[in-house]
Structures are given as structure tokens and as C-alpha cells.
Amino acid sequence: MATLTVAGVDDALRGIAGSPNATDAEFRKELNLALPRLYAMGMWRDLLFEHVITTSGSTFTIPSDAESIISALVDYDSSSVDFSTPQEVRSQFHDYRITGRDDDGDTLRAYGIVDDGYSPTVEEPIAGRTYKLKLQAATGIGTQVLPQAGTVHVRFSDGTEFSNPDTRVDSVDGGKFDLVVTGGASTPITTATTDITSVSEIRVGTTPLSLPVKILFEDSASAATLVAADDLQAANEVTRYRRYRISNDEDKTIAIRCLLKRKFRPFTSLDDIVYLSSLSAIKHALLGNIAEENADLERANYHWGVCRALLDEQLDASRGAAKPVVKFDPSGVGQFSSNMM
């Protein structure tokens, strides 16, 4: 079945599984409570997607709509004519139990890609350089203007002192982007502070933004930019980007083709895409939530069990002949031995 928008799911299920008299906003809230549990249940067909990331450093961040890396192919020199090799993806505990790190704090190449936890920014400022922060409209088609209401608060440091995230950015050490004052304009808003070396927190205020915005690090000397945060819009949202480490001692441009699991992001509009295409599973998830609210745990467990069974059946049908098998590679992942004898 084709993937639907929130409006499509609303039209199909509101009178069956949701509250019949719910408004559009109330039905979105019901979906926002039910669907994260479906996303977390498994590697469902509709939740996997590919994305290519390039980096010239030893860390990289996956897109904000991705939960984690499932598999990865790495081209360690994207400027040359060679090929990508499969790489193991390892947990945060790998360094502490098995390999450690090299003198620069990087991952040893033999161990592939290592989970580096979460970061408040998409990219890190380069050591030895200073920056100012610039808030602008998210990239789109045509002239982009800023929202006319709301605030974004940033806690940053110049290496010795921290900013005040509740003081407007036109003051020194102020980290509050006030869109009520400047909203509607297309000119980016920049901080008065120009010696920023790190950011520890970025959050949207209590009012949702009518349009998405992003924040950039702008080099105070060269005006070159790095992405601090992208696609900020939901009220009370605190940025948290999934980061990974990879060996890159020579600072070459590495291309990483990732198979990613999609992360649930709360619905804010009827036009948002509901990536799970099984209306039956969504229906039982909504009914499971209602049963839990009524303290009917037996019925709730029944509905959640049906959800898993329906999604398992859909996954099995979509695989066709490509069934999972246990594979043993004596030479390791991405290696080849022509003769084991």
C-alpha cells in the first residue's frame, strides 16, 4: 500500500480508532503518542532508507530524521577511482572494552564505524578558530522569510565563559534569537558575540515556529560556514544529533553510503508523511493507546501484539526470496580469501 500523509490516515481511521469528535490537532496528538512505539518495534520495511554522507574529518552526523546506521559502505578516498567496502558499525562501548583510541582520539581503521553518541550540533567548530552564530530560514524554493513569532535559545562558550540563552543575541554573550522582533524579514540574524568556540545547547522556545529555521557557525575571519542545527521548528525542541567516528588520519574526503533506520518525528501538519504504510497496524496502535488510558492492560497488550504481527507479515511479504541467512566470513567483513586451505 502507498504511504499516506497525516490527512490520509485521519480520513481513514479517525472514526474507527481515534476519537470521533477529535480536531485535527487532537488526532495528530494521538498519532504522536502511538507511532513512536511502532517505530521502535523493529526494522520495518517502510523505515529504512539510504543516504550518502561525505566528511573530511574523523566524525560525521547522520540526518536528523534518522535513528541509527544499520549498515554502511565506505569509500576512503572519494576522489579516486576505487570502490566502497562494507564496514562494521560498533557501539559506544567498543572503545572501552576492546580497542581504545589512537593518540588523536580517533577510531582505529580496522574497527570501522563507532557510535559516538549524541551531539547538540550537526558539525563541530574547528579547533583554533572562532565563530559567530547565524540564524536563517531553512533552505527552500524561492525567497525564504523568517517566522514572525517564537524564540530559539543557544548556550555557547568562548572557551572561558558561557552565554546567557535568555538574553537577546544583539547583546554580548546573548544567546536568544527573538523572532517576534525580527520575524518576517529575510535577513539572517547573527550574534553580537564573534569569538564562539563551542555550543552545548540549542532549543526552541515554548512557541512552535511557523517556518523551519537553521543555525550556522560563521567563521569570524573567513566567513566560511558550518551547520550548527537544521530544521528547527517544534516547540520545546532540544537538538540532539547522532554522531559516529571513523578513521581518517590523512583528512581525506570520505564518502559513506549508509542504510539508515528512520526516526519518528512528531507530526505538526496534515501534510506530514506517515512512513508506516500499514493502516491496520496504525489502527491497532491507536486502539492500544486508548486501552492503556482506560487501564485495560489485557486489551492493550492484545492490540500491540497485533501491531507487531501485522508489521512482521508485511516485512516478510516485501522480502520475497531475499530471506535473512547466517553468514560466516573467515577473513572478516569486506575481506576476501581465495583459498582457505
Note the pLDDT tens digit of each residue in 270-321: 999 999 999 999 999 999 999 999 999 999 999 999 999 999 999 988 888 7
What DSSP letter does each residue of 162-224 carry, written as one string? B-EEEEETTSTTEEEEEHHHHTT--SPEE-S---B-EEEEEEE-SS--SS-EEEEEEETTT--
Per-residue pLDDT band at 133 (split at 50, 70, 90) = very high
Q: Does the residue 324 lie in any domain?
A: no
| Co-location of 11 and 34 in the same domain | yes
Query: Based on the structure, what is the number of domains in the chain?
Result: 3
Q: Does the residue 326 lie in any domain?
A: no
Per-residue pLDDT band at 247 (split at 50, 70, 90) = confident
Per-residue pLDDT band at 100 (split at 50, 70, 90) = low
| Co-location of 203 and 148 in the same domain | yes
Q: Give the per-residue pLDDT at 56.
A: 84
Q: Does the residue 52 lie in any domain?
A: yes
Q: Is residue 108 over pLDDT 70?
A: no
Per-residue pLDDT band at 99 (split at 50, 70, 90) = low
| Co-location of 139 and 185 in the same domain | yes
| Co-location of 314 and 253 in the same domain | no
| Co-location of 108 and 73 in the same domain | yes
| Co-location of 248 and 160 in the same domain | no
Residue 216 C-alpha cell reads as 550556522
Q: Does the residue 198 lie in any domain?
A: yes
Residue range of the domain that includes 63? 46-120+243-262
Q: Give the per-residue pLDDT at 145.
A: 84
Q: Does the residue 335 lie in any domain?
A: no
Residue 213 C-alpha cell reads as 529555521
Per-residue pLDDT band at 21 (split at 50, 70, 90) = confident
Note the pLDDT tens digit of each residue in 177-220: 999 877 677 789 999 999 999 999 999 999 988 888 999 999 99
Q: Give the per-residue pLDDT at 79.
A: 66
Q: Give the per-residue pLDDT at 83.
A: 64
| Co-location of 296 and 209 in the same domain | no
Q: Does the residue 64 lie in any domain?
A: yes
Q: Residues 138-151: what's their mean pLDDT?
A: 76
Decide: helix, strand or coil at residue 269: coil
| Co-location of 140 and 221 in the same domain | yes
Q: Does the residue 334 lie in any domain?
A: no
The Cα 59–Cα 56 span in angstroms is 9
Which pTM value belongs to this model? 0.81
Question: How far, in Å, are 10, 69, 118, 136 from residue 198 at the CA level?
Answer: 43, 26, 15, 19
Q: Does the residue 286 lie in any domain?
A: yes
| Co-location of 200 and 186 in the same domain | yes
| Co-location of 76 and 170 in the same domain | no
User: How many angstroms from the chain centroid is the CA of residue 99?
Assistant: 27
In terms of pLDDT, which residue wins out, 326 or 163? 163
The Cα 27–Cα 158 span in angstroms is 45
Q: Residues 167-171: what's their mean pLDDT?
A: 93
Q: Residues 112-141: what's their mean pLDDT?
A: 88
Q: Is residue 98 over pLDDT 70?
A: no
| Co-location of 280 and 140 in the same domain | no
| Co-location of 110 and 139 in the same domain | no
